[in-house]
Amino acid sequence: MPAALRSIFGAGITVLACLFAGSLLARACHIRPSLALTLMLGSASLSPVIFLLSLTGVVHPWTFAALALVLGIAAWRYGGPRPALILTAPWWVLATAAIYGAIYFIYALAPEASPDGSGYHLGLVRLYLEHGRMFPDPSMYASFPEGMEMLYLMAYSLAWLVGASAGTAGSAAALVHLTFLAALISLVFDAGRRAGAPLAGYAAGLVVLASPVIGISASTAYVDVALAALVFGSFIAAREGAWAAAGLLAGFAFGIKYTAFTMIAWVLLYAIWKSRRVRAVALTAACAALTASPWLIRNWVWRNDPVAPFLNRVFPNPNQYVSVEEEYRHNMAHFGGANIDSSWPAEVTYRGAKLQSVTGVAFLASPVALLSIGQPGGAAALSAAAFLFATYPANLLTRFLIPALPFIAFSTALVLARWRWGGFPWLLALWTAAQVIMGLPWAPARPTYRIREIPWKAALRLDPEEVYLRRQLGDAYEVARLIEARVPPDGVVYTALPVPDAYAGHEIILNYTFALGNRLYEVLYAVVKPTPQVRLRLHSSGRAIVRCRDCGSMGRVYEAPEGARVFSNRWDAPLLFDQNPATFWSPWGAGSTEIETGAGELLLSPGDWASDGGTLAQEPSELKLEPRDAIAYFRRAGVTHLVIYDLEAASPAIRRDPQAWNLEPIGGAGPVTLYRVRTP
């Protein structure tokens, strides 16, 4: 079977399974049948089923094949009316949709090469398939809701069943995501018809379709366009009074990204306003909880934090440090040095250098959308857009605007469709045409993340998969191949920079994604940069509290007498007594730097140290770690291999004398050397 057909097979069976499940739900939800809403409802019900199967350890291609077969039989016997695929749009709409659809289809069919798609989205999917189950991977990325990844797991597995490579199986996942774009555009068209303004619906749908950020996201194994389709489907269902469907879709949107909690709030408020019935509101809330809660429960059980990797100050746990979370959130809120200021509209619509991609020039007209308040559907769409935009300042990447874009485009089109000269909506036509023309791959554009080629040779595998992936991913792909070739199946790899996990096929510890990775980085860095310290001698007849008055929550305690007790980040307390000078305890942002102990010596980071009880004598000291001490901690943490980049501070010292570090070089790729941790 040609590689392209393997991808289509995996995606096709998954989409059919969603449609089968959706047909079973559509009748119960009392919603007018449409192919797009059937797909949305089916995905919202199928994903939790796959999640439960993955927890029970039955992740296998034949499991998903059997699931699709059972759903197909059930839909044939008990499903609701089969929605017809009726193409009633004008020829120019269908022609434009066909051109863009072909471009996106070819791009999605090429081997998956997006940064996050080939990284954690499909990296986790591959690990789940190879382990036969979902497991509590400690990475922050594995803490995010994985509703869409469950559908990718099914498509990936089914493509794997017919002999697909990792890149081809990744294409199956991308094709599933692309199907959600088709559903989204159909829903926007339908919104125009329901509002009595079909022309506005067609124009808004094309503007959304031609948006560069939407096109590149929908054609890869990201999740943002699926999220947009679900929140728009929830909007349509709520407007129709189908409260169960609205709740299910809003809850599943949350099961894809936490930011969709605002859509759940919108649906509940809309149900209160429109129905004014407790039963309708309760039904909406219950259905939303049904599809949103699996991920909250999983994180509560596995990580002691239902919204991991966030709110670690509220839900203390050993997986994420408060200070690292706060630094991550600050970086995302000021990505690339960007802010929501006077330059932001240009940056997000046509520049994109700082925020990675652009929405397209049509969205410069977004203020016009405010005039749609008095039109059918206008006020509701604007309010939904406002709710979805509310979380955007937390992450300024253009991609995080995607859920709000269809609502903004629809509201803007409602206004422009009414402004006519000579009976023709000239402004609407120019607005749509500008977006459609500038959204094409060959249109002049600034360097930014968007589709810039139609990789038909890679899609058909006329160009070898490896050649395309090397061109798209560069050295990162070579590193992944090196890991896959040289590291045993049970190996654990440490790295300071992201690796396309989907092509590495191993458990990878990325240094900033969870607490252990943070500690490993600090230990490695301390070897090449000696750490100033103070040695304190506490003289006390009983217990005393030693605290640093100017360290805040980031002071360090390297050694303490046996029996010492800390008041925050208690999970790292054993590091005080492990006899390894490379390790240390710190609150990591979770509280003040203080420790309760008896008389004895403490080795601490510099600061204004004082004690409540007893007397302190201190003298300067310096921690000079032996490389073997650092690697001993890596070994104890289960790390078997290290990926060291030339730009890392420790790289020259390791390259000069790997034996002193108890490391063995076993391969290289570009600016990277792969080392094996030797047994002592």
Say if residue 426 is in the same domain as residue 510.
no
Closest CA to 378 of 407, 399, 348: 407
Q: What CA–CA distance (Å, rounded) separates 612 from 188?
A: 66
Say if residue 268 is in the same domain as residue 320.
yes
Say if residue 142 is in the same domain as residue 265.
yes
pLDDT tens string 212-240: 999 999 999 999 999 999 999 999 999 99
Q: How confident is the model at residue 85 (pLDDT cuts 50, 70, 90)?
A: low
**Residue 448, domain member (yes or no):** no
Residue 611: pLDDT over 80 = yes
With beta carbons less than 8 A apart as the criterion, state whether 6 and 162 touch. yes
Judged by average pLDDT, the poorest of 2-11, 20-29, 608-617 is 608-617
With beta carbons less than 8 A apart as the criterion, state whether 158 and 65 touch. yes
Tokens representing residue 433 in the block: 């045409």
Q: What CA–CA distance (Å, rounded) separates 20 from 42?
A: 7
**Residue 447, domain member (yes or no):** no
Q: Give the mean model confidence (pLDDT) for residues 125-132.
A: 96
**Residue 164, domain member (yes or no):** yes
Q: Which of 393, 413, 438 is the last residue of a domain?
A: 438
Say if residue 428 is in the same domain as residue 355.
yes
Residue 30: pLDDT over 80 = no
Q: What CA–CA distance (Å, rounded) separates 201 from 313?
A: 45
Q: What CA–CA distance (Å, rounded) separates 434 from 203?
A: 11
Say if residue 154 is in the same domain as residue 182.
yes
Q: What is the pLDDT of residue 384?
A: 97
Count of domains observed in the chain: 3
pLDDT tens string 154-175: 999 999 999 999 999 999 999 9
Q: Give the mean model confidence (pLDDT) for residues 612-622.
A: 79
Q: What is the pLDDT of residue 447?
A: 67
Task: Supply the mean pLDDT for the chain.
Answer: 92
Tokens representing residue 368 in the block: 């016009």
Judged by average pLDDT, the poorest of 507-511, 513-517, 540-544 is 540-544
Q: What CA–CA distance (Å, rounded) separates 400 from 389?
A: 9
Say if residue 433 is in the same domain as residue 569.
no
Q: Which of 438, 458, 489 is the last residue of a domain?
A: 438
CA distances from 645 to 481, 506, 582 (A): 15, 19, 21
With beta carbons less than 8 A apart as the criterion, state whether 106 and 220 touch. no
- Radius of gyration of the CA atoms of the chain, in A: 27
Residue 676: pLDDT over 90 = yes
Say if residue 181 is in the same domain as residue 44.
yes
Q: How confident is the model at residue 638 (pLDDT cuts 50, 70, 90)?
A: very high
Judged by average pLDDT, the poorest of 78-92, 197-211, 394-408, 483-497 is 78-92
- Which carries the bigger pLDDT value, residue 421 or residue 553? 421
CA distances from 615 to 359, 528, 533, 536, 564 (A): 63, 34, 19, 10, 17
Residue 27: pLDDT over 90 = no
Residue 79: pLDDT over 80 = no
Say if residue 511 is in the same domain as residue 617.
no
pLDDT tens string 524-535: 988 888 777 888
CA distances from 464 to 38, 157, 455, 460, 547 (A): 37, 22, 12, 9, 61
Domain that includes residue 332, residue range: 3-81+109-438
Say if residue 356 is in the same domain as residue 408.
yes
Q: What is the pLDDT of residue 273?
A: 94
Percent of the chain with pLDDT over 90: 75
User: What is the value of pTM for the model shown?
Assistant: 0.95
The answer to whether the peptide bond before residue 309 is cis (omega within 30 degrees of 0) is yes
Length of the chain equals 680
**Residue 305, domain member (yes or no):** yes
**Residue 7, domain member (yes or no):** yes
Q: Give the mean model confidence (pLDDT) for residues 627-646.
A: 94
Say if residue 266 is in the same domain as residue 293.
yes
Q: What CA–CA distance (Å, rounded) separates 650 from 635?
A: 17
Say if residue 346 is in the same domain as residue 265.
yes
Q: What is the pLDDT of residue 666?
A: 96
Q: What CA–CA distance (Å, rounded) separates 476 from 273?
A: 51
- The residue written with tokens 């789940």 in the block is 128
Q: Which of 607, 623, 639 is the last residue of a domain?
A: 623
**Residue 174, domain member (yes or no):** yes
Say if residue 634 is in the same domain as residue 618.
no
